[in-house]
Amino acid sequence: MSYISIYEEWCKKATEDADVAGELKAIEGDDVKIEDAFYRNLAFGTGGLRGVIGAGTNRMNIYTVAKASQGLANYVCGNFAEDARRIAVSYDSRIKADLFAKTAASVFAANGIKVFIYSQLMPTPCLSYAVRALDCAAGIMVTASHNPSKYNGYKVYGPDGCQITTEAAAEILADIEKVDAFEDVKKVDFEAALENGAVEYIKENVYTDFTNEVLGQSLVGDEEIDKNVAIVYSPLNGTGLKPVTRALKEAGYTNISLVEEQKNPDGNFPTCPYPNPEIKEAMALGVEYAKKNNADLLLATDPDCDRVGIAVKNAAGEYVLLSGNQIGCLLLDYVCSMRVKNGTMPADPEVVKTIVTTDLGEQIARNYGVKTVNVLTGFKFIGEEIGRLEKQGKDASYIFGFEESYGYLSGSYVRDKDAVDGAFLICEMFAYYKTRGISLLDKLDELYAKYGYCLNTLHSYEFEGSAGLEKMQGIMATMRNDIPQIGGIKVVKVNDYLKGIDGLPKSDVIKFFLEGNSSVVVRPSGTEPKMKVYVSVSAENETASTAIEKEVLAFMEQLM
C-alpha cells in the first residue's frame, strides 16, 4: 500500500482527534509532507515509540498509540495467565501525554487487562517501581524524555521493571504489525473503565514507598552533615517538582529555591527548548537563579525525571556545569568510600556502566575492589544486570550503576535510572564534603590526580526523514570498513557489537580503541534521527586531551 493510499485512508477514518483531522486536511496536496508522515510506521523497539506529535503513521497520535497498545495487549494476553494480566501506566508533562496515557489504558482495559495508572503525572522511575510493586506484566511511560516539545513517546517495561528486552520488543512489534489501527483496536471509555474498576488509580502508598526507598539510599549514617546547603532546583517544566522536593525535604534539606519559570509542568518548555540537563542552554536560567541566590548547588532534572545535571561554584565564584561522566565518577567514589567507611561494602560488590561511559569509572571501582560490568548503551541493560544478580540471590552485590547521559541508580528498588535518587545522593555527597571543607571540584581534581585525566565528549548529528535514515546506514557501513587511524592515532582494536561481543545482545554500535588508552564509539540513536559519536581521551592534562579530541573529532566529522 503506497503512502498516498494510506494518507487517503486516514483522511476518511481518522476523525476522532480534531487536531489530527485538521493536519491531514492542511497537508493535502503536499507530497513531501505526506510522504514524511506516512512513508513508514513509527519505529518500535526496545525504547518503545518516539516521534513528532502529529498526523500520520510516522507520528505520535492517538491512532499510533492505540495500535501499539493493542499489539502490547495481544502480547500480554498471549504470554501471561489471565490473573497476571496487569499493566501500570504513567506519563510526564509533554503535550498530549495524559491523552495518550488514557488512550493506552482504554485499550488495555478493553482487552481484559487490569490497568493501574497514576492520577497525576509521575517520573519514569515511579513507573518502573509501580510495575514491580503491583506485580504487573508490563508498564508504559508516556514520555519523550529530554527531546524538544514537538516530540512524545511511549516506553514499554517488562514485569522486571526494566525497559523491554530485544526479544520482547521483536515479539511485541510482530503483534503490533498485525493490527489495523482503524479495524482491530479494542477500546472502552476511560471514565467508564475507572467506574467499573477495570482501570484503577495507583494508591498514594506506592509513591510513599518509592520515596522511602530513595531515602534509604543514604550513606552518612550518624555522621555530621550540613543540610542547610543552599540548593536551587529546576524540574525543567517536567515531573520532578513533587518527588524531588519531597525526598529532599523529608531528608532534612530545607534551603531549597525553585526556578519559577521552570517549576510547573509545561510541555511547551518555553524557557528551555531542549529540556535536557546535558545541554548548557537548558541550565542557563538555573545558573542565573543560582547566582542571584548565591546557591551552593544547582540541580536540574529532565521532563520524565530520570536524568539529573548539576552546577557548582569554582574558586572564582563562577558556576561550572559537570558532565554526566564527572558526576557519575564522583558518585561512584562517594558510594564506595562511604560503604568502606561504614563497613557496608558487600563481599562481592559490583558497579554497572555502559560501554560509552568513561573508563575512569572502572579505575575507581578497581581501587575499592569493586567489579565493573560493562553493558550496551541504555539503562535497561543495567537494570537487567540487577535482575540477573537478584535471581542469583546476590542483589546486595549491586552498589551503583551509571551512564554518561546523566543517569544514576544506587539501589535495586527500580530498574531504570532515577533522578530522584540521583538528586538525593548528589545533595548528600555535596553536603558531606562541604561540611569537611571540600568542594566537588576539589574532589574531582583529586580523582584526576590519582587516576589520570580523562576527557569524555558526546557529539550528535541529525539526519531527518527517509534520506537521513539511508545516510546513517551508509555511515555505519563505512565505519565497518578498515579504518587504520582516527585523527592520526592508530586504531589498535575494533569492537563491532552487531556481531555480538562479550555475551551482549547484537547492537548497531562500533567502538574503536585507540593507541594511548583513548576510544571512539559510534552508534545511531535508537529513539531519534541522530548519529551519536562518543570520544574518550586519556592524557596527562585537560589541554593535551582537548587537542587530541579536536583531531579525532575532525576526522569523524569528515565521515558524517
Question: How many other β-carbons are positioned within 10 Å of the β-carbon of residue 495?
Answer: 17
Confidence of residue 552 (pLDDT cuts 50, 70, 90): very high
Backbone angles phi, psi at 157, to 5 degrees: -120, 145
CB-CB contact of 66 with 103 (8 Å): yes
Assigned fold of 212-450: Alpha-D-Glucose-1,6-Bisphosphate; Chain A, domain 3 (3.40.120)
* Residue 526 predicted with pLDDT over 70: no
Task: Sort strands 518-524 and 530-539 into parallel, antiparallel or unpaired.
Answer: antiparallel
Please indicate whether the domains covering 3-202 and 452-559 agree at the CATH topology level: no
pLDDT digits (tens, 9 = 90+) for 436-485: 999 999 999 999 999 889 899 889 898 887 788 888 888 899 889 888 99
Cell numbers at 341, concatenated: 567507611
506 secondary structure, DSSP code: P
* Residue 426 predicted with pLDDT over 90: yes
Active site residues: 145
* Residue 134 predicted with pLDDT over 70: yes
Architecture of domain 452-559: 2-Layer Sandwich (3.30)
Cell numbers at 150, concatenated: 514537538
Domain residue extents for the chain: 3-202, 212-450, 452-559
CB-CB contact of 297 with 230 (8 Å): yes
pLDDT digits (tens, 9 = 90+) for 362-374: 999 999 999 999 9
- At residue 311, what is the residue type? A
Confidence of residue 527 (pLDDT cuts 50, 70, 90): low
Q: Which of 341, 331, 395, 405 is nearest to 365 (CA)?
A: 331
260 secondary structure, DSSP code: G
Task: State the average pLDDT over residues 318-326.
Answer: 96
Confidence of residue 501 (pLDDT cuts 50, 70, 90): confident
pLDDT digits (tens, 9 = 90+) for 226-249: 999 999 999 999 999 999 999 999
Confidence of residue 326 (pLDDT cuts 50, 70, 90): very high
3-202 CATH pick, 3.40.120.10, 3.30.429.10, 3.40.50.620, 3.30.750.24:
3.40.120.10
* Residue 144 predicted with pLDDT over 80: yes
Overall pTM surpassing 0.95 (yes/no): no
358 dihedral zone (left: phi>0; alpha: psi -120 to 50; beta):
beta
* Residue 273 predicted with pLDDT over 90: no
